[in-house]
Amino acid sequence: MNYITEINEFHKWSEVHHIPNNSKLLWFTLMNIANKCGWSAWVGVSNRRLMYLLNFSNDRTLMRARDELINANLINYKKGKKGSPGRYQIISFSSKNTVQSEVQSTNNNKNTVQNTVNNTVKSTVNCTVQSTTINKHKQKHKPKTNKKTKAKKAISADACAIIDYLNDITGKNFKKDTPATLSHINARLTEGYTVSDFKTVIDNKASDWLNDPKMSKFLRPQTLFSTKFEAYLNEKKGKSNESTSKYNLNERYSLV
């Protein structure tokens, strides 16, 4: 502890902190005694000696001055046991400044960490919000795919062959990209039926309904290729698919 430095710091401290003059006298007296003792951590001084040095008339004046210094965090005091003087410890202004600097440094580090965390969180949130906004924008402006376009892509060679055959036999003009038509055909193909099976069903029902004004309207995909497909397929007509087809075509053209 540096004697001159502590006195200068005390004067600076006194400019902004008020303590009674008796307390100031006690502090200077304790500093003088501590300096003579080689700056021991604790210095033992009796009340009687201090009262003599400070010219205090009673113990109360000394205790009030001491309490002011303790409350101002300028000294620590330990009451002596019977027959032993009380002990004083002067709290150095230099150590206070060091502690304050460390506390300030710690607070600055905390603020730095907090700012880093806040910036990281804000950056993450902003990126998430921007990403969400972009995704919503993409979804909102996602080009709509025409159902007919999907249906066209889903048309297989088998479906084309089946529809062409139906049109040839019935003289109708069913489109190959109608979703309902493709749905029925694909459902039966998925069940394992072949193109040949479809032609058989078309031949079977054409021989029954083609010349019947009331029933000819049912020569259509939703009827022929429905869940009754298996029943239609197993109707034996006694003719091959090829002969039935030629018969129906010749019959139709002969009626024109």
| pLDDT given at position 102 | 61
| pLDDT given at position 171 | 93
Q: Find all residues with CB under 8 Å of 23, minimum gap 6, and list them.
A: 64, 65, 66, 68, 69, 72
Domain ranges for the chain:
3-95, 149-248
Phi, psi of 69 (to 5 degrees): -70, -40
CA–CA distance from 223 to each of 1, 191, 201, 252 (Å)? 109, 17, 11, 21
Q: Kindly report which listed range (21-25, 44-48, 147-151, 192-196) carries the lowest average pLDDT score.
A: 147-151
| pLDDT given at position 25 | 95
Kindly state the helix (H) or strand (E) to which residue 51 belongs, with its residue range.
Answer: helix 47-54
| pLDDT given at position 81 | 84
CATH architecture of 3-95: Orthogonal Bundle (1.10)
Give exposure, 76-100, as e/b (b: 16+ Cβ within 10 Å).
Answer: ebeeeeeeebbbbebebbeeeeeee
DSSP state of 2: -
User: Is residue 136 very low, low, confident or very high in pLDDT (cuts 50, 70, 90)?
Assistant: low
Q: Kindly report which listed range (67-76, 129-138, 223-232, 235-244) carries the lowest average pLDDT score.
A: 235-244
User: Do residues 175 and 181 touch, judged by C-beta distance below 8 A?
Assistant: yes
| pLDDT given at position 64 | 95
pLDDT at 9 over 50: yes
Q: Find all residues with CB under 8 Å of 177, minimum gap 6, and list them.
A: 148, 151, 152, 155
What mean pLDDT, rounded, does the chain reach? Answer: 82
User: Do residues 66 and 26 touch, judged by C-beta distance below 8 A?
Assistant: yes
pLDDT at 112 over 90: no
DSSP state of 155: -
| pLDDT given at position 239 | 46
User: Do residues 94 and 6 touch, judged by C-beta distance below 8 A?
Assistant: yes
pLDDT at 148 over 70: no
* Angle subtended at Cα 48 by Cα 42 and Cα 54, rounded to the nearest 5 degrees: 85
**How much is the average pLDDT of 168-178?**
93
pLDDT at 153 over 70: no
